[in-house]
């Protein structure tokens, strides 16, 4: 019987890592770290698995909460393959290198999660770059990556054993980012859907409204002579925000826009794979050679002296710098030099994990002890500048998640990658679309039912129900029913509410 073990990302956001055992094969679906934790505390719980027996890892996308623990597998004898799309491999190469520099700068040797050698073994030797809809076979198992529209190269992973299908959503994109949106039309209804629920129970303001607010705050700060710091996630968010600013450039004061750190390299990867962007971007590029991310005002610092000079002199500008949650890197370096002036603005964009400086700013904390990444000094910083937050998330919101699940109608729905309250809210809205909904915690194992085997059982009968007829069943009994054209398993207690409806 196929089984799913939750090694990380159960009732939490971060360290996504699931083990799927199917037909004698053992795969990991992602293997990430918790970006808000430090050192080995950020790893998933790998103690429950025989890492040397793993056949491979399927990587949904490059974000560290899905990939940051893959090098750790090497330390436990892993020698399988790591499957991902080509843009994911290109982004991972940059993200891991950047994270390694942060670890070498800020963590002790024991805390560091990988070395340059381990990183390169995975990227150069074990990684298998593939593309969407290029079905690959691993003995009896077929695997198909579908576009998830979350960041460049992100996938939904479909694993097929005979006619038994497991679909892992990875992180699902939202319709308002500028990537191609996910589709369910190419997917056969899965027996098991493992779905993220980060925004379960939450819908956001429209993207147009949020963009308007962001631009208005930036405009006000620049017109007041202030500098604007936008801490950005090097992958995805930087490019979204660059595009927003570029598209409205005529309505903003003409200042320099500086791009910092790894965002410069990831921008080049995005430019190489413009084919993954939405139709509007692709058409503008094909017919008018318009690059969605670059224009005359975009600058790259030539060195530390230029950065220091910028902060010594008065005058407005925009600086976009990682890390997005102000965990470290150039965003913190610039924040330390901008925080004291009331004219300046720190514009936070997206989710701020608990424990980060970004989350502290949102909670109203204004005094911080920050480490200067160049001098290594710890400095007390009082924040007097303006702080604003804009929800430009690249995750599907509640309505989009409901729409996705309602179209796929799985036998078993496993909700992960969300706080427990978010996953509960999502489960409540979608329970009528799935035979069974499970919200596992880290450490839980789930036996996945195998309808193909059950169909052969002589105990299955289709029972027509008339109004005057009632079935009396133990409320915990599980039975196979046909609902909305699909066969699925339901608990008798759930079946009762369906029949009444």
Write each residue from 152 to 171 as x if it is in contact with Zn ion (CB under 5 A), else as -, in one continuous string.
-------------------x
Burial class of residue 288, CB neighbours in 10 A (0-12, 13-18, 19+): exposed
Shortest Cβ 409–Zn ion spacing (Å): 24
Write each residue from 431 to 470 as x if it is in contact with Zn ion (CB under 5 A), else as -, in one continuous string.
----------------------------------------
Nearer residue to Zn ion within complex by CB, 141 or 269: 269
Nearer residue to Zn ion within complex by CB, 98 or 171: 171
Q: Which residues of 217-251 are buried (b: 16+ CB within 10 A; e: fewer)?
A: bbeebbeeebbbbbbbbbbbbbbbbbbbbbeeeee
Task: For residues 216 and 222, give the distance between their C-alpha atoms in angstroms, rounded to a whole number.
Answer: 10
Shortest Cβ 296–Zn ion spacing (Å): 32
Two structure tokens written together for 287? 């017919």
Site for Zn ion in 352-391 (CB under 5 A): none
Shortest Cβ 34–Zn ion spacing (Å): 11
Distance from first CA to last CA of the chain, Å, rounded? 33
Counts for the chain of helices (H) and strands (E), in that order = 15, 24
Shortest Cβ 417–Zn ion spacing (Å): 6
Site for Zn ion in 169-188 (CB under 5 A): 171
Range in contact with Zn ion (rule: CB under 5 A) among 58-66, 223-231, 295-303, 357-365: 58-66
Nearer residue to Zn ion within complex by CB, 171 or 191: 171
Among 82, 68, 167, which Cα is nearest to 123's?
A: 82
Q: Is the dihedral of CA 58, 64, 69, 70 positive or negative?
A: positive
Angle at 10 between CA 140 and CA 185, to 5 degrees: 50
Nearer residue to Zn ion within complex by CB, 158 or 171: 171
Size of the site for Zn ion (CB under 5 A): 3
Shortest Cβ 65–Zn ion spacing (Å): 4
Among 11, 15, 63, 146, binds Zn ion (CB under 5 A): 63
Shortest Cβ 63–Zn ion spacing (Å): 4
For residue 67, CA distances in Å to 35, 266, 279 come to 11, 16, 29
SS (H, E, C) 3-50: EEEEEECCCCCCCCEEEEEECCEEEEECCCCCCCCCHHHHCCCHHHCC
Site for Zn ion in 64-93 (CB under 5 A): 65
Q: What is the CB neighbour count within 10 angstroms for residue 429?
A: 16
Write each residue from 3 to 32 as x if it is in contact with Zn ion (CB under 5 A), else as -, in one continuous string.
------------------------------
Nearer residue to Zn ion within complex by CB, 65 or 494: 65
Nearer residue to Zn ion within complex by CB, 349 or 387: 349
Q: What is the side-by-side order of every strand in the sheet holding 445-447?
A: 127-130, 81-85, 56-58, 25-29, 17-22, 3-8, 445-447
**For residues 7 and 442, is the Cβ–Cβ distance under 8 A?**
yes
Range in contact with Zn ion (rule: CB under 5 A) among 55-63, 227-235, 271-279, 347-355: 55-63
For residue 243, CA distances in Å to 217, 271, 415 come to 17, 12, 33
Nearer residue to Zn ion within complex by CB, 63 or 112: 63
240 binds Zn ion (CB under 5 A): no
Q: What is the DSSP letter of 163?
A: T
DSSP annotation string for 240-256? HHHHHHHHTGGGS----
Range in contact with Zn ion (rule: CB under 5 A) among 63-71, 201-209, 439-447, 473-481: 63-71
Shortest Cβ 13–Zn ion spacing (Å): 7
Nearer residue to Zn ion within complex by CB, 67 or 161: 67
Nearer residue to Zn ion within complex by CB, 234 or 344: 234
Shortest Cβ 171–Zn ion spacing (Å): 4
Burial class of residue 86, CB neighbours in 10 A (0-12, 13-18, 19+): middle
Nearer residue to Zn ion within complex by CB, 173 or 226: 173
Footprint of Zn ion on this chain (CB under 5 A)?
A: 63, 65, 171
């Amino acid at each position: 019987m196929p089984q799913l073990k939750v090694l990380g990302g159960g009732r939490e956001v971060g360290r996504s890592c699931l083990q799927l055992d199917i037909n004698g094969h053992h795969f990991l679906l992602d293997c990430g770290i918790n970006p808000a934790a430090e050192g080995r505390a950020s790893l998933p719980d790998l103690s429950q698995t025989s890492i040397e027996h793993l056949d491979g890892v399927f990587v949904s996308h490059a974000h560290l909460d899905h990939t940051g623990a893959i090098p750790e597998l090497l330390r436990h004898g892993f020698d399988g393959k790591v499957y991902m799309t080509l843009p994911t491999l290109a982004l991972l190469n940059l993200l891991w290198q950047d994270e390694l520099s942060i670890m070498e700068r800020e963590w002790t040797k024991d805390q560091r999660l990988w070395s340059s050698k381990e990183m390169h073994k995975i990227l150069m030797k074990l990684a298998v770059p593939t593309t969407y809809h290029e079905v690959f076979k691993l003995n009896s198992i077929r695997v198909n990556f579908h576009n998830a529209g979350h960041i460049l190269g992100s996938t939904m992973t479909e694993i097929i054993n005979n006619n038994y299908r497991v679909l892992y959503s990875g992180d699902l994109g939202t319709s308002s980012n500028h990537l191609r949106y996910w589709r369910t039309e190419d997917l056969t209804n899965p027996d098991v859907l493992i779905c993220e629920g980060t925004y379960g129970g939450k819908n956001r303001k429209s993207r147009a409204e949020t963009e308007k607010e962001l631009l208005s705050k930036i405009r006000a700060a620049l017109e007041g002579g202030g500098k604007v710091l936008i801490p950005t996630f090097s992958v995805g968010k930087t490019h979204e925000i660059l595009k927003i600013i570029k598209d409205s450039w005529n309505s903003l004061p003409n200042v320099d826009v500086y791009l910092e750190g790894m965002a410069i390299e990831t921008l080049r990867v995005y430019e190489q794979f413009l084919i993954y962007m939405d139709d509007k971007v692709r058409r503008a590029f094909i017919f008018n050679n318009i690059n969605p991310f670059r224009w005359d005002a975009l600058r790259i610092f030539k060195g530390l002296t230029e950065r220091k000079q910028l902060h010594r002199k008065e005058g407005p500008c925009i600086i976009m710098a990682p890390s997005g949650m102000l965990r470290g890197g150039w965003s913190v370096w610039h924040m330390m030099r901008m925080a004291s002036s009331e004219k300046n603005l720190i514009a936070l964009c997206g989710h701020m994990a608990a424990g980060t400086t970004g989350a502290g700013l949102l909670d109203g904390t204004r005094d911080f002890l920050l480490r200067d990444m160049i001098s290594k000094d710890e400095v007390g910083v009082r924040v007097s500048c303006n702080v604003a937050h804009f929800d430009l998330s690249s995750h599907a919101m509640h309505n989009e998640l409901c729409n996705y699940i309602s179209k796929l109608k799985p036998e078993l729905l496993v909700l992960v990658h969300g706080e427990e309250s978010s996953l509960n809210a999502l489960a409540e809205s979608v329970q009528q679309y799935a035979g069974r909904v499970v919200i596992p915690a880290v450490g839980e194992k789930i036996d996945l039912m195998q309808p193909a085997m059950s169909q052969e059982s002589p105990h299955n009968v289709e029972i027509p129900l008339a109004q005057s007829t009632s079935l009396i069943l133990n409320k915990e009994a599980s039975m196979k029913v046909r609902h909305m054209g699909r066969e699925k398993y339901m608990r008798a207690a759930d079946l009762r509410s369906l029949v009444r409806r």
